[in-house]
Amino acid sequence: MPFNLPIFLTWLRILAIPLLVVLYYLPQGWLPGHERDLFATLLFMGAAFTDWLDGYLARKLNQTSSFGAFLDPVADKLIVAAALIILVELDRTNAVVAAIIIGREITISALREWMAKIGASKNVAVSMLGKIKTTAQMLAITLLLYREPLLGWDSLQLGNLLIWVAALLTLWSMGYYLHKAWPEIAKRTGAGL
């Protein structure tokens, strides 16, 4: 297993997941609600920033690796899933939207794994649509974790609007990736349109 700065940042993102969860399970009185939300928001924002930074550094420092390419999306999906589950439990977002986003992530991860196994991973490489979806998701989750008014905006209302936008982009991007993979799926399964 290679170890370099981009992979270290990815591991930090994974280590942030239990910290995020623990913040919401501390005994009452240990951390006031607003402070808990602020720490969770900052932790999630830091994780979202390292998502961008580790990829940038891997390319800039020529430290890309197959292990890093595997670990990075796993870390992203884990922290998003953990945050969504917390937000559903806190009744800050809808379980349907969480199921759409988490279900899509599992589906596309499985599709990418299968496509890599058959040597067709380029067909389902990350697209601009996927990057826009991820940005909407990260921004929405940040607002929902924060919960307090922000610059005169109701962050819960704005966060919920954005999380539904992210869910729609999630479905759209899933359709896009399935469409790109369909020729390989049809060829190997005999399925047609």
pLDDT at 191: 63
From 142, 127, 153, select the one nearest 92 (Cα to Cα).
142
pTM of the model: 0.89
State pLDDT tens for residues 128-180: 888 899 899 999 999 999 988 888 889 999 999 999 999 999 999 999 989 88
Q: Is 193's pLDDT higher than 60?
A: no
Q: Does domain 5-189 have CATH number 3.40.50.970?
A: no
H-type alpha helices, 61-154 = 66-89, 95-117, 128-146
pLDDT level of residue 192 (50, 70, 90 thresholds): low
From 73, 56, 74, select the one nearest 64 (Cα to Cα).
56
The ranges assigned to domains in the chain are 5-189
Q: How far is CA 45 from CA 33, 38, 49, 145, 181, in A?
A: 18, 10, 6, 10, 32
Residue 29 is classified by DSSP as T
State pLDDT tens for residues 55-65: 899 899 998 88
From 7, 87, 91, select the one nearest 40 (Cα to Cα).
87
pLDDT at 72: 87
